[in-house]
Amino acid sequence: MNKDRITSILEGYRSGALGMEAALEAFKGFPTADLGYAKIDTQRELRVGFPEVVYCAGKTPDQVRGIVGELLGRGCSVLATRASEEHFAALAGFGERLLLDRVSRTARSAPAPGAGAQAGSGLVAVVCAGTSDLPVAEEAAVTAEACGASVLRVVDVGVAGIHRLLERVGEIRKADAVIAVAGMEGALASVLGGLVAAPVIAVPTSVGYGASFGGLAALLAMLNSCAAGVSVVNIDNGFGAGYQAALIARRAVGP
């Protein structure tokens, strides 16, 4: 249940348009909606500014469809991550209400016609070392956009050809928060940390040959970065980085 809906119910009760029983019925399920297999936190948007996010992995297509339908029915914005082809098929019935993105493996509410980033939401730069890192980078970018931020995408600028990154530094420096997505040895985060004044959120990916240990090498390299201002999320956690970056960007531009 979003803030506008709550305000509408309270105003209806105050004006007499809604009686006590009708108002109580409207609040039914608040602050959670119990679907049996999931209890949806309908109050989260009021607390943190964005509704509950649906992590699809491990959930059946029917469960994902049920949760997403409940959120849409309550007027909440929807963001679902780590969706499979089976999940996409289950969500196809919502039609144009959802944007399905197979690169980022996300589904999210379609913005209203003509709607852009929210005023005062800030700019997030998502900087991706290689094309193989794109699924994680796009998850970060889509998440930041869903949280209201403007997003600058900078793709395939890993340190093996560092001139590609240096060509884009001027644009990246305009961002309020920077996300560095890299596998292999994860050096991109340290390089960016030495080039920009904004906080850098490093995302190690599981891209790499055997000794990268599924992203562990990049994770440890980023945790041990000598550049100040670099924080690190878990391996392949584009969602966590995008959410955090959007919160930083929002605060950076003030209320």
Q: Which long-range contacts (CB under 8 A, 24 or more apart) does 108-112 make?
A: 108/77, 108/78, 108/79, 108/80, 108/142, 108/146, 109/72, 109/77, 109/78, 109/79, 109/146
| Residues 74 and 193 placed together within one structural domain of the fold | no
| Residues 91 and 185 placed together within one structural domain of the fold | no
Q: Is the pLDDT at 30 greater than 70, yes or no?
A: no
Q: Is residue 6 part of a domain?
A: no
Percent of the chain with pLDDT over 90: 68
Tokens 């000794």 -> residue: 211
Number of domains, the chain: 2
Q: What is the CATH number of the domain that holds 169?
A: 3.40.50.1970
* pTM of the predicted model as reported, rounded to 2 decimal places: 0.84
Best-predicted range by mean pLDDT (10-19, 28-37, 43-52, 70-79): 70-79
pLDDT of residue 118: 62
| Residues 128 and 219 placed together within one structural domain of the fold | yes
Confidence of residue 200 (pLDDT cuts 50, 70, 90): very high
Angstrom distance (rounded) from CA 45 to CA 51: 4
pLDDT of residue 3: 63
Q: Is the pLDDT at 223 greater than 70, yes or no?
A: yes
| Residues 130 and 203 placed together within one structural domain of the fold | yes
Name the domain boundary from 56, 81, 109: 109
Structural domain span for residue 220:
123-252
For residues 222-237, average pLDDT: 96
Q: Is residue 203 part of a domain?
A: yes
| Residues 99 and 196 placed together within one structural domain of the fold | no
| Residues 248 and 129 placed together within one structural domain of the fold | yes
pLDDT of residue 226: 93
